[in-house]
A and B are shown apart, each in its own frame.
Chain A
């Protein structure tokens, strides 16, 4: 495992001057993922439309200190897999000598929802590429609309908390499990609270022969309405409350990477965020209860998949 001293000497592939909001999780996530590549490795990046793509490629500027290909909202998987296929052909013909890595970044809207078919196709065809989903649980770039990654109970502009509905009424789609069902060599879920975890998983994803998928929790201070400097603490709480478990699926084998020792109630994750504030008003206790049940049930299912004893940490 490389140290930060070593990693800080690797070329910065996502540079300052991009227009992401101050403190946006995407900047941290992308820097960590690309930092797993060595100086002499070539990489081609593509992005689904979303905050990251919009803020990093405002003409005539690019924050990508590497090759970058622009594409639409729904087809990052298709675009990068197409570039990878062209590269393979050129390499076979001897027209390209270098080894090149391919990575697509998509938001949760661009990945869980509108880009799911192009991602699924790319994974199924077995392209040698990495797809990274930056999950901030809503369509942030267009003003915080709910997606299938938005947590149950969250206030968004299309699941507004008010007298009629108390925020989003459905739980999240389990995308990592959907991706694992493609039987690709590598699927992982990670979070920036452990840079080592992100680094290790990004490195593995780039190294495997074939498609790899990584899901990163990437907080949005605007949409989540928490105190911006607290991002790392908040992500840590997401892992400790088991809202965002860290795991990986290597060649079909599920493995849990972190097992919280204590039972930390989900309120700890909800409370610091404005998008959940209404849940703490009298009369909404049942929603928090439902969120907790959902988290517990998913945790038990995950333990079972990982071959661990399905039990909750002691309260």
Chain B
């Protein structure tokens, strides 16, 4: 099983925590030694609708970035730089707050169907 947490702590396990470990092998007091490691856990598959960016309409105001509850909007040098689909839960807030309607919410089912249709064509 691949460990899902690298762990630099004083607990018995230095390699990582796996679900099959017993309590003696876990870190002391349940400490976690890697800040922000929840980022290695993906919540993107919670999504039923997906935000899609329309570059021509975007004015890079970053209001969407400000209001994302899941820190799932990337920015580089103060400009919009894509969605983090590994974590985005598809809440739809970014699309609603965008002043230029540069974000559309598309059904994941539709995206899957279109992808399938394309694959069948090929």
Contacts and interface: CB of A to CB of B under 8 A. Distances in A.
Interface of A: 3-9, 12-28, 31-32, 56-68, 70, 192, 195, 228-233
Given A6-B78, A60-B4, A229-B91, A26 B69 contact: yes
Contacts of A32: 66
Contacts of A61: 5, 32, 37-38, 40-41
23 contacts: A8-B75, A12-B71, A13-B36, A15-B38, A15-B39, A15-B71, A18-B38, A19-B43, A27-B69, A28-B67, A28-B69, A31-B68, A56-B38, A57-B32, A60-B32, A60-B37, A61-B38, A61-B41, A62-B37, A64-B35, A228-B91, A228-B93, A230-B96
A231 B93 CA distance: 7
A231 B69 CA distance: 11
B92 A228 contact: yes
Contact of A60 (B5, B39, B68, B86): B5
Main secondary structure of the interface of B (DSSP, over half): loop
Interface in B52-93: 60-63, 65-72, 75, 77-79, 84, 86-93
Contacts of B86: 16
Contacts of B66: 4, 7, 32, 195
A31 B71 contact: yes
A97 B73 CA distance: 35
Contacts of A228: 91-93
A26 B71 CA distance: 12
Interface string B10-29: 00000001000000001100
B108 to A, nearest CB: 13
A16 B72 CA distance: 6
A228 B68 CA distance: 12
Contacts of B4: 60
Interface of B: 4-5, 7, 17, 26-27, 30, 32, 34-43, 46-47, 60-63, 65-72, 75, 77-79, 84, 86-93, 95-97, 105
Given A8-B75, A229-B95, A16 B87 contact: yes
B63 to A, nearest CB: 7
Contact of B61 (A4, A21, A56): A4
B62 A64 contact: no
A68 B36 CA distance: 10
A162 to B, nearest CB: 31
Contacts of B62: 4-5, 8
A16 B75 contact: no
A132 B65 CA distance: 22
Nearest to A16: B87
Name the 6 nearest CB pairs between A and B, nearest first.
Answer: A27-B69, A16-B87, A5-B78, A65-B36, A23-B91, A229-B92
